[in-house]
Amino acid sequence: MTKGNLYLIPVTLGDSNPADVLPQTVYRSIELLSVFVVENSKDARKFIKAVNPEKKQSELVLFELNKHTDTKEISSFIQPMLEGKDMGLMSDAGCPGVADPGAVVVKMAHEKGIKVIPLVGPSSILMSMMASGMNGQSFTFNGYLPIDKSEKKNALKNLEKWSFERNQSQLFIETPYRNNQIVEDMLQILNPQTRLCIACDISLPTEFIQTKPIALWKKSKPDLHKRPCIFIIHKD
């Protein structure tokens, strides 16, 4: 039996018009597919309706993959593809499989010889890197930093050290309601000449992207509370 394909479907990075950031290949995929692995069913249905209002919601089959998912269930998610049916994988925001739990489904697809097809769409990591003015030849995405104050301080100092020694831009994220605190931490811990890029609400009408030394950030701090952000640091 011919196996189905796994389409990696990017979604918007927030409440924006899909037509502004998504190509026609995404629209065509949503039109053709009816089985998806998603992070949150409610959000996925809302996105699918925005892209294709004519699609019948009752025909959708959605498998939820998030921190609450029983790991024993995940292997069953790819069964439709093993039976010849194409499926889609979507994150809650941006590109699936990148800083996203969907990577485990992609891994299983490769193990089962299922064709994986990534589609073009917005990636907050790449878009922030593009707009930062920092080294795009060598960079590392570090995910979340530790919550513990002492561990977080050590992590920030290490990122600053690595950015200098390796000439490598260091990216990380924070839970949105902790954004203002992590900025305060960086202003206290990092070298005044270390550059910091704050990329917030990427691709949304409220987008804010600026890069400047820590010393200048101390003079003007934006309010980032509950706004999705990417932080990039680089010590020259």
Q: Domain ranges in the chain?
A: 6-118, 124-234
Considering the domain 124-234 in this protein, what is its CATH number? 3.30.950.10
2-39: pLDDT as tens digits: 999 999 999 999 988 999 999 999 999 999 999 999 99
Q: How far apart are CA 110 and CA 212, in angstroms?
A: 42
Instruction: List the pLDDT tens digit at each of the 236 positions of the chain.
Output: 799 999 999 999 998 899 999 999 999 999 999 999 999 999 999 999 999 999 999 999 999 998 888 888 999 999 999 999 999 999 999 999 998 899 999 999 999 999 999 999 999 999 999 999 999 999 999 999 999 999 999 999 999 999 999 999 999 999 999 999 999 999 999 999 999 999 999 999 999 999 999 999 999 989 999 999 999 999 99
* pLDDT recorded at residue 88: 98
Containing H/E element for 92? none
Q: Assign domain 6-118 one CATH number from 3.20.20.30, 3.40.1010.10, 3.40.50.300, 3.40.50.2300.
A: 3.40.1010.10
Element (H, E) at 67: none
Which of 138, 155, 136 minimizes the C-alpha distance to 146? 155
Report how far apart, in Å, the C-alpha atoms of 106 and of each of 89, 94, 115, 197 are. Answer: 9, 16, 10, 31
- Output the pLDDT for position 68: 87
